[in-house]
């Protein structure tokens, strides 16, 4: 449950509202019980759980991340479900932070839900565009690896053990030209079947867990 | 575009309807041009592309798959976006077929769209429950590898080169007890971060591309 995850992550919550039929113990956060049916009218889901929390939006600045060893940089992701699923996969695979360059807002309710709480456990930086973030990241000596369906180099054929920023592009257009010009290397996930490409969140999962796999290997 | 993918796959289309402003050449399929605005009222999306195709639902029987070397078996997937995304990842990674055990209908419009056309290029079998399919698959000598967040064995520590059926469970409950009893082995994708689990479509992508990676390796 999202609110429980936010509390577990000590995310700054200001107030929690629960339906009469729900019991909740929130350490240090004011809880207000409201009549059954009220939350259903406020929530953005059709069948909400009977708990709503109000919390601050917390972001980091890109400048706070120079000691990261694993970043995920996103260029104009437009679907909130994809963005949330990518944040969940990135956090699960051990990424230090996700850098969101343009596209849909990370606090879009569908995105927050799709993170399944991972949003509270990872750092997110929001930048106007991915290429400006990549220039900063490159200045730290971190390798910037972009993904492109047509790149000849395979994603599992590059060293992902050294500090790396994995870069993924929009659903419709992939990486923008400015972003391609700002990475050190392009890799692809080879398609074995007849599909033309992978969903961007699937590609992110494959890439992030390849980082985890290489770093775990003896 | 979905209709183009269906045609490329020689999926049995019966009729295509296009808006006045759209031109389309469908080899051997009757095309009817309708007034602009008509398709918008018929389609299930808010901003549809001006093409609608009517086609048959095509499924295979599980008994048609004994020579497969890579199957993806699903147990009660409930979200159509997840189901479609899994079919897309499975087809992309080279799976011979996807076996859908219960859960949401594979011809749900959101599922069809999420496959991005992969549905037309892969074989799909629909069974009442995954465990009955796994018994048939086991009879062929194919290894059945289930996924569970708590399994001690790592997904990248098992041989996925020999014929294998990868088994994934529902978003809310993972694999059912009957399904767990019907697999040869359980594996997990180790979580490095603090998330409790991966989205099932992300897990499917990681697993399917590990099959592809092992089979590609020298």
Q: Which among A88, A196, A198 has the least Cβ separation from residue B89?
A: A198
Kindly state whether residues A38 and A146 are assigned to the same domain. no
Domain of A45 in residue numbering reads as 2-55
Chain B residue with minimal CA distance to A113? B199
Q: How far apart are CA B106 and CA B87, in angstroms?
A: 9
Contact B85 A201 (CB under 8 A): yes
User: What pLDDT sits at residue B40?
Assistant: 81
Nearest to A121 by CA among B198, B195, B199: B195
Kindly state whether residues A45 and A128 are assigned to the same domain. no
User: pLDDT digits over A151-200, tens only?
Assistant: 999 999 999 999 999 999 999 999 999 999 999 999 999 999 999 899 99
Domain boundary among B34, B55, B76: B55
Contact B121 A198 (CB under 8 A): no
Domain boundary among B55, B78, B95: B55
User: How many angstroms separate the CA of residue B95 from the nearest CA in chain A?
Assistant: 8
Q: How many domains does chain A have?
A: 2
Nearest to B55 by CA among B16, B22, B27, B87: B16
Tell me the ipTM for this assembly.
0.93
Kindly state whether residues A50 and A80 are assigned to the same domain. no
A10: left (phi over 0), alpha (psi -120 to 50) or beta: left
Other Cβ atoms within 10 Å of A196 Cβ, number: 13
> pTM here?
0.94
Longest dimension (CA), chain A: 59
Kindly state whether residues B135 and B97 are assigned to the same domain. yes
User: What pLDDT sits at residue B30?
Assistant: 85
User: How many angstroms separate the CA of residue A117 from the nearest CA in chain B?
Assistant: 7
User: What pLDDT sits at residue B128?
Assistant: 94
Q: How far apart are CA B11 and CA B55, in angstroms?
A: 8
Chain A environment of B49 (Cβ under 8 Å): none
Q: How far apart are CA A176 and CA A130, in angstroms?
A: 9
User: What pLDDT sits at residue A2?
Assistant: 85
User: How many angstroms separate the CA of residue A191 from the nearest CA in chain B?
Assistant: 5
Residue keyed to tokens 């995105």 = A111
- What is the four-CA torsion angle of B128, A46, B169, A106, rounded to 10 degrees? 150
Longest dimension (CA), chain B: 59
Kindly state whether residues A82 and A154 are assigned to the same domain. yes
Kindly state whether residues B25 and B86 are assigned to the same domain. no
Q: What is the CATH number of the domain that holds A86?
A: 3.40.1280.10
Kindly state whether residues B102 and B152 are assigned to the same domain. yes
Kindly state whether residues B120 and B181 are assigned to the same domain. yes
Kindly state whether residues B129 and B182 are assigned to the same domain. yes
Kindly state whether residues A76 and A51 are assigned to the same domain. no
Q: How far apart are CA B166 and CA B204, in angstroms?
A: 9
pLDDT in tens, chain B (218 residues): 788 889 888 888 889 888 887 777 777 788 888 887 888 888 777 666 788 888 889 999 999 999 999 999 999 999 999 999 999 999 999 999 999 999 999 999 999 999 999 999 999 999 999 999 999 999 999 999 999 999 999 999 999 999 999 999 999 999 999 999 999 999 999 999 999 899 999 999 999 999 999 999 76
Locate all alpha helices (DSSP H) within B30-147, ordered by sequence.
38-42, 80-93, 109-114, 118-121, 130-139
Enumerate the β-bridge partners of residue A98: A72, A124
Q: How far apart are CA A143 and CA A184, in angstroms?
A: 6
Query: What residues of chain A score a pLDDT lower than 50?
Result: none
* Strands laid side by side in the B70-75 sheet: B123-127, B97-101, B70-75, B164-168, B143-147, B185-187
Chain A residue with minimal CA distance to B205? A202
Contact B201 A94 (CB under 8 A): no
User: What pLDDT sits at residue B23?
Assistant: 72
B157: left (phi over 0), alpha (psi -120 to 50) or beta: alpha
Enumerate the β-bridge partners of residue A54: A15
Kindly state whether residues A86 and A173 are assigned to the same domain. yes
Contact A121 B206 (CB under 8 A): no
Kindly state whether residues A86 and A42 are assigned to the same domain. no
Helix, strand and coil content of chain B, in percent to the nearest 5, comes to 35, 25, 45
Q: How far apart are CA A78 and CA A97, in angstroms?
A: 19
């Amino acid at each position: 449950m999202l609110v429980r995850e936010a509390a577990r992550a000590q995310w700054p919550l200001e107030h929690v509202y629960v339906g009469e039929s729900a019991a909740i113990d929130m350490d240090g956060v004011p809880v207000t019980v409201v009549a059954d049916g009220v939350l259903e009218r406020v929530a953005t889901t059709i069948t909400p759980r009977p708990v709503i929390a109000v919390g601050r939006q917390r972001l980091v600045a890109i400048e706070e991340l120079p000691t990261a060893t694993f970043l995920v940089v996103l260029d104009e992701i437009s679907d909130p479900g994809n963005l949330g699923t990518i944040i969940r996969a990135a956090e699960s695979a051990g990424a230090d932070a996700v850098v969101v360059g343009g596209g849909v807002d990370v606090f879009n309710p569908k995105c927050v839900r799709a993170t399944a709480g991972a949003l509270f456990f990872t750092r997110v930086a929001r930048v106007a565009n991915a290429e400006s973030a990549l220039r900063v990241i490159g200045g730290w000596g971190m390798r910037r690896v972009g993904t492109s369906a047509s790149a000849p180099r395979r994603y599992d054929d590059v060293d992902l053990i050294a500090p790396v920023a994995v870069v993924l592009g929009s659903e419709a257009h992939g990486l923008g030209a400015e972003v391609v010009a700002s990475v050190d290397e392009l890799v692809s996930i080879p398609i074995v079947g007849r599909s033309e490409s992978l969903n961007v969140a699937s590609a992110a999962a494959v890439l992030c867990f390849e980082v985890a796999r290489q770093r775990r290997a003896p």
